[in-house]
Structure 1
Amino acid sequence: MGYQLGLIGHPISHSLSPWIHQQFLDLAELDGEYKLYEGSPDRLPQLLEELKAKKINGFNVTVPYKQVIVDYLDEIDPDAELLGAVNTVVYSNGKWKGYSTDGEGYVRSLIETFPNLLTNQTSVLLLGAGGAARGIYRALNGQGVAKVDIANRSKDKAEQLLSLRIDEVDSNVISYQQAEEQLAEYDLIIQTTSVGMKPNVEEQVIQLDNIRQDAVVSDIVYQPIMTQFLRDASMRGANIHHGHAMLLYQGELAFEKWTNKKLDVTHLVQKLENKLRGE
């Protein structure tokens, strides 16, 4: 029968995960399938029973289950426990174990494109303080960068991220206005909010007037592929990093946990972009 993999969440009918993981299965020369298991929030216990009955090898988790699923797992990876969210579950030795691959997957995608970017001299600005920002913030701390400042509308929410800080990394919570004013200080600017996502494609979380031309600007939004934020950065001469690369690499990390297969997925970044463009 091969590997039985899937995704739980609601709504998920337009998810690209089945396509992505079929690419991985083909690349690894493994038999298997990746299916969508959609259910409203009150159906989680029933969904998990169905997956156990199918003896599924593992599954991804998306909204609205990323936090609540923690209570149904037998084990949880320490980083996922710290983040309070799980997006990947592995079935092993009769137990469910939960992981979070978002942050590490993001960093993998960044290093693949800019291999010399993350050093102990790198200064980072993180825009937003939601679930994606938490994972990315923790992963960047693990890379030993010099500084990660967090800009968010709600200062209280941004300050909650500081509990994930590793001591050697300098971090400050600032306003969006402060971020705009001191933009030239940062080597890497990461946009982690939903601002600029379809259908509100003209929106932009901050203005980039003060950006340095050698800076890298990253946006985790992947619909559209070229957000207004990235377009503005590109027009100002900055280097850009697209959101669909994170989507691919966090999936690749989950696939690695399910199958113990390490893949070189570099060539799939362009293939996924073509898929998103409908080509």
Structure 2
Amino acid sequence: MDTYKITTDDTLRETLPHGTARYPFAYYPENIWQFDFHRIDWHWHHEFEFLIAAESKICCLAGTDKIDLPKGCGIFINSGVLHRYEAYESACAPNIVFSASLLADETSLLYEKYIAPVISSSVPYQIFDPQMPWQDDILRLLQEIFALQESKAPRSELRTVRLLLHIWDILSGHLQPAARQTALSRPDHRQARLQTMMQYIHDHYEEEITLDMIAASASLSKSGALHIFQSGIHISPVAYLIRYRLSRAAGLLYTTQKAVSVIASETGFTSAGYFCRKFREYYHMSPGEYRQKKSST
């Protein structure tokens, strides 16, 4: 079975373009189980995303929340929200990702009244449960959109946009009260600080880094940094640093012929032995076995 991996930049923004400038919409009939380690790892994008757990339960981490999404339920991920999906078994999860500009121009009244309030509301996500009538309506409309993409029907772009506008009419109507409420509250800067610390790790992972240094990059105490990492992505800053170093090392294993000891040194590990132990803990195989597996696929 082929495996897939999401690609991001140093801020964890997904680098894959979703559609084109002329039609900024993309449909992905994905199975999360087929991704590396059965997860679509942390990423964000400016576009909106809608996903349905079509085959089995999916674990979704969005903003600072962890959600078990039962089979048949769906989720909306707002623009700019850091998120991740994990599968417990084969998990078909058809999803669409599209730009707000597909619905309305940013200078238009439609954008001002119905789209901008949702983006600026700080609502990170919305779950769709088929037991709730208005949410079931959205799930049925999403299924129509998925079917359109798979059938490649004539005028599918026009029909897709019509269905998206119908979804947005329902969604924005139910999210507007929450949007007005959150607009009056103090802004939450946790995600920005989390991304600042992640960026620091990405820039300095080859060097010796301490928790104090990670926290200082976002003007936080050590306890503040620990809290933001745990509430945001559910691991400690040091654990994230090790995982990031391992991911960089994994890339070097199958894109270069460098010795394992050299890769360990270049990715910030103090010794090849420690690197190999951590690599096996995370990837459940040795660096050499990982290199051989990736080379064969």
Give the TM-score band, short-chain normalised.
Answer: under 0.3
Larger radius of gyration: 2
Q: TM-score, normalised by structure 1?
A: 0.26
Q: TM-score, normalised by structure 2?
A: 0.24
Higher fraction of helix: 2
